[in-house]
Amino acid sequence: MSSKIMALLLAVAGLGFCYTGRAAQQLVWQGKIIYVENGWNGEGLVIRDSSIGPEGCWAPRDEFAIDKDHPAYKELVAMALAAYTSNADVEVILDSGVCLFGGRTKVLSIRLKK
């Protein structure tokens, strides 16, 4: 087998291992934030939503966690608090099967709805 073909096969195989598709993300359909709670040890924020989230974590399926190390942590907390205080509809994008403190599903993004 020529070295060019071998290099091509290795490159294709490497791409297969590097794929980080978005299949694990799941949108929780429109709902309202019922409560907001700080992580007891400063690890982030918990929200409870009127929607039911995906299976995969051991906490109730309507409780989600925002990790304090999330790059948009401040924005997500501000949006969660704004949605809670105004009783606005939200959509929450989760990382299905990724469990944070208390076994809650990891929040990736929040959308505020009118």
pLDDT digits (tens, 9 = 90+) for 74-104: 999 999 999 999 999 999 999 988 999 999 9
Rounded-to-integer distance, Cα 41 and Cα 38, Å: 8
How does pLDDT run across 37-73, given as a tens digit for each residue? Answer: 998 888 999 999 998 888 889 999 999 999 999 999 9
- Please, what are the domains in the chain? 22-113 (2.40.50.110)
45 C-beta neighbours (distance < 10 Å), count? 21
